[in-house]
Amino acid sequence: MKKSNSDRLKALKRVSREIRRLEFAPLERPQVPSGAQPTLELLDWATRLYCYSILSHFRELLTSLVFLSEAERGPAVFIIARSLYEIGAHSYYVQKHIKQYREVKNIERGWKFMESINMGSLYMKKKGISVPSRRPFPEPRNIGKIIRCFDEWRLIPRQRHASETYSYLSEFAHPNMAAFNHYYKMATSAPRKILANFVDPPCDVDQQPLAEVSIAVAATLYNLSDLLGMLGNNTLREKLNASLSALIGKRK
């Protein structure tokens, strides 16, 4: 039976409540000097930092989306949905590459990868601001490449291509025709006279992109759960798996 958006919203609200209860222990950085050969412990620290940080950001956005969805603020739901989808794609991208680096024991490349993930900022780099070690900020990973990589992730059956979904979710985020035409209807009032009548945008729950948000939530929980499993953080992994099971069914 196909899920309705009302059912999806209930499930998303439940997941939002559950992940807001998560607590993250302080992370002490291994005593490896900046510029020294990175260790596996340092790479694991950077990976945990990523998991805890992105989960913290993700749950704030998801809580906001649930609030706006219930209030039927459709355009704002689309904008947050786009951010959530980026995070879902990002979590897969990081999980895939860290797994590869660990399998071949390439700690140095894994560390450089995680440094760009955790510290990448095009704004800071262009401003010429340095990280604490006085090196320039690294560039962030290209979001287009991350979205294309997300095409490989297929936990959800009949999932559309990631680039197509991302383009759809981006429509309300840009001042273009796709956003504008939700606010007016063209009508003919007399011969040769056309009026643009301004209306409220579609805002009810059935017209919100909650199926796409569900994919983003499932991807984030699934991939961060796998990352945490690699790091031996089984308690937090089990909590994420429980939330994932509530959303899509029991994980194999």
C-alpha 198 chain-centroid distance: 33
Tell me the pLDDT tens digit for each residue of 38-66. 999 999 999 999 999 999 999 999 999 99
What is the spatial distance between Cα 167 and Cα 162, in angstroms, rounded to a whole number? 8
What is the spatial distance between Cα 123 and Cα 129, in angstroms, rounded to a whole number? 9
How far is CA 204 from each of CA 9, 156, 224, rounded to the nearest angstrom? 12, 25, 31
- HSE (CB half, 13 Å, CA atoms) of 194? 3
User: What is the model's pLDDT at position 95?
Assistant: 97
Tell me the pLDDT tens digit for each residue of 154-180. 776 556 789 999 999 998 888 999 889
Beta carbons of 150 and 93 less than 8 angstroms apart: yes
Q: Which 3 state secondary structure label does DSSP give 201?
A: coil
Q: Which of 124-128, 148-152, 242-246 has the lowest mean pLDDT?
A: 124-128
As a whole number, mean pLDDT of residues 230-246 equals 94
Tell me the pLDDT tens digit for each residue of 15-37. 999 999 999 999 999 999 877 89
User: What is the model's pLDDT at position 252?
Assistant: 45
pTM: 0.91
Would you list the domain boundaries of the chain? 5-170+203-248
